[in-house]
């Protein structure tokens, strides 16, 4: 049987030079965060991986892929096809093939996302998942908040670390009974959360989650994500940009970054999917 280290080394060895990052985590760490419909019914010590694409993916994996592919024959979105091609290739290098591969865009028969990739990225230590509850914290990352839950009033002191234990009270948009006084938004407003990568800010995407059914490791260390958007003001700004102005991509620059999407990559994503084929034909020739 393969070890966690061998799985990591094999996947990373293949994917790294293609602008793809791999992080391992234990299934229990994901299951502990999400509500019942999103939990996976396997042993909590099962090893999983989350795969990200970072800015260099476009030039190092995608452009070479389309130059070697008849893009008109692709049944899926070209980016998704390229990712599936490389993830499958990486998995095929493992001796153990009992692996479930899921992608960010896949839905269950009841139209729910198969896997919540942002939660996976957070518990794997890849990118901090900033949600509405994180904007309830003050600048130091620690706050004292009075929580009103129906008729009970509880004084709660929490830090980024300790709040994990409070997730049921502080569920994503459920602020009716959670520190509503420090909530910056109207209680009825839906605020979607965003992951921020310590090196690439918002200039990355979370593409896939793998479950290695034959690999159980109760000692796999849980890596904490880097809390790179550390003040309450910055977190509010991030979520305002992500929810209000995501088209201008300014949420991606909430922190200073090592690398961003190139001009051509931005042009590609700014092009309507129906017009991308034409752009790809031009790119394939250059
Ligand atoms: C459906 C969807 C949408 C929908 C709904 C958004 C939503 N978040 O619900 C719509 C169409 C609106 C949308 C829009 C966008 N999306 Co979208 N979307 C998704 C998708 C496919 C599923 C999200 C979902 O339904 N979540 C369900 C809810 C219930 O999950 P949740 O809110 O996270 O709640 C869970 C956590 O809170 C967890 N939990 C509870 N407590 C705690 C505590 C901690 C510490 C943790 C970690 C977790 C945790 O438990 C809850 C579940 O029980 C994901 C990909 C995926 N498969 O995850 C991409 C995704 C979230 N989208 C993404 C993006 C970039 C966008 C857009 C900017 C458009 C774009 N693609 O460029 C916009 C931005 C939002 C906006 N302003 O409209 C990215 C976000 C990347 C990032 N850096 O975080 C994702 C991850 C896709 C990707 N491949 O990277 N999206």
User: Are 84 and 217 part of one and the same domain?
Assistant: yes
What is the pLDDT, as a whole number, of residue 75? 87
User: Are 78 and 219 part of one and the same domain?
Assistant: yes
User: Are 181 and 56 part of one and the same domain?
Assistant: no
- The closest residue, in CA terms, to atom 11 on ligand 1 is 192
User: Are 53 and 39 part of one and the same domain?
Assistant: yes
Residue 235 lies in a domain: no
Determine the structural domain holding residue 177 and report its residue range.
Answer: 132-190
User: Which sign, positive or negative, has the C-alpha torsion 153, 155, 160, 161?
Assistant: negative
User: Are 124 and 136 part of one and the same domain?
Assistant: no
Per-state percent for the chain, helix, strand, coil, to nearest 5:
40, 20, 40
* Site residues for ligand 1, CB cut-off 6 Å: 33-35, 38, 104, 113, 115-119, 122, 129, 131, 164, 167, 171-172, 192-195, 202, 205-207, 242-243, 246
Residue 214 lies in a domain: yes
Residue 243 lies in a domain: no
User: Are 17 and 116 part of one and the same domain?
Assistant: yes
d(CA 33, CA 171): 9
Residue in 36, 117, 118 to alter for ligand 1 test, most ligand atoms within 8 A of Cβ: 118
d(CA 189, CA 176): 11
Task: Report the candidate in 9, 10, 49, 11 with the shortest Cα–Cα distance to residue 27.
Answer: 49
Q: How many whole angstroms from 131 Cα to the centroid of ligand 1?
A: 10
**Residues 31-40: contacts with CB under 8 Å, at least 24 apart:** 32/164, 33/119, 33/122, 33/123, 33/164, 33/167, 34/116, 34/119, 35/171, 37/112, 38/112, 38/113, 38/115, 38/116, 38/119, 40/211
Q: Give tens-digit pLDDT for 259-283.
A: 999 999 999 999 998 899 889 888 7
Residue 37 lies in a domain: yes
What is the pLDDT, as a whole number, of residue 192? 98
What is the pLDDT, as a whole number, of residue 71? 84
- What's the total number of domains in the chain? 2
Quote the distance between the C-alpha of residue 210 and its chain's center: 13
Q: Are 50 and 23 in contact, with CB atoms under 8 Å apart?
A: yes
Q: How many whole angstroms from 155 Cα to the centroid of ligand 1?
A: 30
What is the pLDDT, as a whole number, of residue 283? 78
Backbone angles phi, psi at 80, to 5 degrees: -60, -40
Residue 101 lies in a domain: yes
d(CA 250, CA 202): 9
Residue 244 lies in a domain: no
Residue 140 lies in a domain: yes
User: Are 174 and 199 part of one and the same domain?
Assistant: no
User: Are 269 and 154 part of one and the same domain?
Assistant: no
pTM of the model: 0.90
Query: Which atom of ligand 1 is least distant from the CA of 115?
Result: 57
d(CA 117, CA 207): 7
User: Are 202 and 136 part of one and the same domain?
Assistant: no
Residue 245 lies in a domain: no
Number of C-alpha atoms within 13 angstroms, CB side, residue 27?
20
Task: Report the candidate in 60, 92, 58 with the shortest Cα–Cα distance to residue 78.
Answer: 58
What is the pLDDT, as a whole number, of residue 109? 96
Query: Which atom of ligand 1 is least distant from the CA of 35?
Result: 53
User: Are 113 and 168 part of one and the same domain?
Assistant: no
- The closest residue, in CA terms, to atom 26 on ligand 1 is 116
d(CA 102, CA 98): 13
Residue in 21, 102, 119 to alter for ligand 1 test, most ligand atoms within 8 A of Cβ: 119
User: Are 155 and 66 part of one and the same domain?
Assistant: no
> Which stretches of the chain drop beneath a pLDDT of 70?
137-181, 285-286
User: Are 24 and 107 part of one and the same domain?
Assistant: yes
């Amino acid at each position: 049987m393969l070890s966690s280290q061998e799985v990591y080394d094999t996947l990373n060895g293949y994917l790294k030079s293609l602008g793809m990052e791999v992080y391992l985590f234990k299934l229990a760490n994901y299951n502990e965060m999400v509500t019942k419909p999103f939990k996976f019914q396997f042993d909590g010590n099962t090893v999983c991986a989350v795969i990200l694409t970072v800015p260099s993916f476009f030039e190092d994996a995608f452009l070479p892929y389309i130059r070697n592919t008849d893009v008109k024959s692709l049944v899926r979105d070209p980016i998704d096809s390229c990712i599936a091609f490389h993830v499958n290739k990486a998995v095929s290098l493992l001796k153990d093939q009992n692996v479930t591969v899921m992608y960010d865009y896949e839905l269950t028969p009841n139209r729910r996302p198969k896997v919540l990739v942002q939660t996976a990225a957070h518990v794997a230590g890849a990118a901090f998942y900033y949600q509405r509850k994180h904007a309830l914290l003050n600048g130091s990352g620690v706050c004292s908040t009075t929580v009103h839950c129906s008729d009970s009033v509880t004084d709660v002191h929490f830090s980024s670390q300790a709040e994990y234990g409070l997730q049921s009270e502080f569920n994503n948009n459920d602020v009716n009974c959670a520190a509503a006084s420090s909530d910056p938004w109207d209680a009825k407003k839906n605020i979607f959360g965003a992951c921020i990568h310590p090196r690439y800010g918002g200039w990355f995407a979370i593409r896939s989650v793998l479950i290695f059914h034959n690999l159980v490791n109760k000692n796999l260390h849980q890596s904490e994500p880097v809390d790179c958007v550390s003040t309450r003001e910055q977190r509010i700004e991030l979520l305002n940009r992500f929810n209000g102005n995501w088209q201008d991509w300014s949420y991606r620059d909430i922190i200073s970054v090592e690398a961003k999407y190139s001009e051509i990559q931005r042009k590609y994503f700014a092009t309507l999917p129906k017009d991308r084929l034409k752009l790809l034909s031009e790119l394939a020739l250059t």
